[in-house]
Amino acid sequence: MNAASQHLPEESFVCLGDQEDEPPSTIGKFFSNKTAATDFTPSLFDAPPLAPARPRVMRMNPKARAFRKVFFPAATDQEWSDWQWQLRNRIRTREQLRHMLTLSPDEEQALAQHSELLPASITPHYMGLVSSHDPEQPIRRSVIPTVYEMVKCPGEAEDPLGEEHQSPVHGLVHRYPDRVLLLATDFCSTYCRYCTRSRLVGQGDLSPSRERLEAAFAYIRQATQVRDVLISGGDPLTLSDEKLEWILSSLRAIPHIEIIRMGTKVPAVLPQRITPQLARMLRKYHPLWMSLHFTHPDECCYETERACNMLADAGIPLGSQTVLLKGINDNATTMKSLMHGLVKMRVRPYYIYQCDPINGSGHFRTPVAKGVEIIRALRGHTTGYAVPTYVIDAPGGGGKIPVMPDFVTGREGNDITLQNYEGKSYQYPDYITE
Ligand code: SF4
């Protein structure tokens, strides 16, 4: 990454063809419009007024460039860089997938029978990362349906986390005392085949209507113990800036809400959505945190790095969430590479989730021992900031429970025995005083 990529200008972006590079940084320009009364940013960080808009270029990763050349040859640089164009041109049909990929029999069969299940949808950007010929490629497995998602294994359920039983208002989950989960929309630009909310996403039942969301705000307003709202979905960053700002400002107007968090996969699947205008709007609602969903190191391409840097430059603390998936990221080398990619993009690895037992997810699920093994391979072997917490979301609504390798291996009198990352044992004096 060059230094210029960390600080992005105010202007609209266009993609870079084969010949150009991103222009020098215009740091300071795009965080200058402090207009709303809800802007909590200290004046210390104010910047000079904006320069007049002028066209800019944005570099594309080589895979996306090659993909675009073959399948969207008429798309202009401006169109490819426009998140709405990316949404309009999502790949959703069997015919499109057949045209772009050599489908395996398992994929063919799934697409032929697929009408009632989780829809298939992939942005052109993300499709550029999908292998056209290898059905086992991790990115491809995460978004292309296979027949295995139609197989229900023991213990699986439509709503294994029991969210429906903890929803006082449609689209609002109140599981923990001091925080709530607001499902702003059921729409995602790209549908992950292992989605925990596959019962909801893409079904059209959770529209971001004013009426539904106002009912959620009314609940939060009277629940004075709630200090933290997580906005998720679906993917909330697929909403317009105006709708998002209405949601954020409505929550900010509730006196007992201390922090707002957003959960999104947009920086990985639709990085064009992260615009200077969006970043400038979001920074008015601090403290605002984001949990970014990543699956594989191949997602850490140039465009995603640019999106994460723009969010980080807007002062948003970024954490990651990764689902442990068989054949996709279930080995220490892949996971370490992903965690390193994340910290380089200023995203703090936060959670690795054991795959929830949703219907049809058995082919993705690993034994719990695999997650413990991966954490053991990370802890002490790399930067502490690159080591997330491995958790199981307890079926039935028990919440997230951390699962850790046991580094305390015994006790001898007043000493406990600890094992370090190399497997060596150490004694630590641990006197029990009355
Ligand atoms: S982005 Fe999140 S909500 Fe959307 S399909 Fe993927 S896991 Fe589900």
pLDDT at 56: 56
d(CA 188, CA 120) in angstroms, rounded, equals: 10
68 is catalytic: no
Higher pLDDT, 69 or 32: 69
Q: Count other C-beta atoms under 10 Å from residue 44's C-beta.
A: 5
Residue 138: cis peptide before it, omega within 30 degrees of 0:
no
Q: Count other C-beta atoms under 10 Å from residue 303's C-beta.
A: 22
Contact (Cβ atoms closer than 8 angstroms) between residue 137 and residue 128: no
400 is catalytic: yes
Residue 413: cis peptide before it, omega within 30 degrees of 0:
no
Q: Count other C-beta atoms under 10 Å from residue 390's C-beta.
A: 25
Closest CA to 178 of 231, 223, 221: 223
pLDDT tens per residue, range 91-128: 999 999 999 999 999 999 999 886 667 899 999 999 99
pLDDT at 407: 94
pLDDT at 153: 92
Q: What H or E segment, with its residue span, contains residue 211?
A: helix 210-222
Of the candidate ranges 190-199, 332-341, 425-434, the one whose mean pLDDT is the lowest:
425-434
- pLDDT of residue 42 exceeding 70: no
Spatial neighbors of 277 by CB under 8 A, at least 6 apart, are 241
65 is catalytic: no
Contact (Cβ atoms closer than 8 angstroms) between residue 233 and residue 185: yes
Q: What is the mean pLDDT of residues 148-176?
A: 93
d(CA 244, CA 249) in angstroms, rounded, equals: 8
Residue with tokens 């006082």: 168
Q: Count other C-beta atoms under 10 Å from residue 343's C-beta.
A: 15
Q: What is the mean pLDDT of residues 151-160?
A: 92
Instruction: State in Å: Cα 235 to ligand 1 middle.
Output: 7
Q: What H or E segment, with its residue span, contains residue 247?
A: helix 241-252
- pLDDT of residue 166 exceeding 80: yes
Q: Which of 65, 134, 152, 176 is catalytic?
A: 176
**In 263-381, alpha helices (H):** 266-269, 276-282, 302-313, 332-344, 368-378
d(CA 350, CA 365) in angstroms, rounded, equals: 20
Amino acid sitting at position 48:
P
pLDDT at 49: 46
pLDDT tens per residue, range 378-387: 999 999 999 9
Per DSSP, the three-state class of 354 is strand
Contact (Cβ atoms closer than 8 angstroms) between residue 271 and residue 307: yes
- pLDDT of residue 41 exceeding 80: no
Per cent of the chain over pLDDT 90 is 80
What's the Cα-to-Cα distance from 175 to each of 160, 212, 257, rounded to whole Å? 14, 19, 16
Spatial neighbors of 273 by CB under 8 A, at least 6 apart, are 83, 86, 189, 237, 238, 266, 307
- E strands, 97-242, where? 172-173, 179-183, 228-232
Higher pLDDT, 263 or 42: 263
pLDDT at 289: 98
* Torsions phi, psi for 382 (to 5 deg): -150, 175
Of the candidate ranges 31-45, 341-355, 405-419, the one whose mean pLDDT is the lowest:
31-45
Average pLDDT across the chain, whole number? 88
Confidence of residue 411 (pLDDT cuts 50, 70, 90): very high
Q: Count other C-beta atoms under 10 Å from residue 394's C-beta.
A: 14
pLDDT at 121: 96
Q: What is the mean pLDDT of residues 148-171?
A: 92
pLDDT tens per residue, range 350-361: 999 999 999 999
What's the Cα-to-Cα distance from 335 to each of 219, 345, 378, 385, rounded to whole Å? 39, 15, 9, 14
pLDDT at 375: 98
pLDDT tens per residue, range 225-250: 999 999 998 999 999 999 999 999 99
* Torsions phi, psi for 245 (to 5 deg): -65, -35
Spatial neighbors of 417 by CB under 8 A, at least 6 apart, are 408, 409, 410, 411, 425, 426, 427, 428
Confidence of residue 16 (pLDDT cuts 50, 70, 90): very low
Atom 1 in ligand 1: residue holding the nearest Cα: 265
- pLDDT of residue 20 exceeding 50: no
393 is catalytic: yes
Per DSSP, the three-state class of 105 is helix
Q: Of 143, 190, 201, 269, which is best to mutate to test ligand 1, by the most ligand atoms within 8 angstroms of its C-beta? A: 201
Domains and CATH numbers, the chain: 12-147 (no CATH), 163-402 (3.20.20.70), 405-434 (no CATH)
Of the candidate ranges 108-122, 141-155, 360-374, the one whose mean pLDDT is the lowest:
108-122
Confidence of residue 433 (pLDDT cuts 50, 70, 90): confident
- Model-wide pTM > 0.85: yes
Q: Of 139, 191, 299, which is best to mutate to test ligand 1, by the most ligand atoms within 8 angstroms of its C-beta? A: 191
Top-ranked range on mean pLDDT: pick from 125-134, 396-405, 424-433: 125-134
pLDDT at 58: 73
d(CA 318, CA 380) in angstroms, rounded, equals: 22
Atom 8 in ligand 1: residue holding the nearest Cα: 195
346 is catalytic: no
Q: What is the mean pLDDT of residues 78-97?
A: 96
| CA 322 to the chain's CA centroid | 8
d(CA 247, CA 255) in angstroms, rounded, equals: 15
- pLDDT of residue 140 exceeding 70: yes
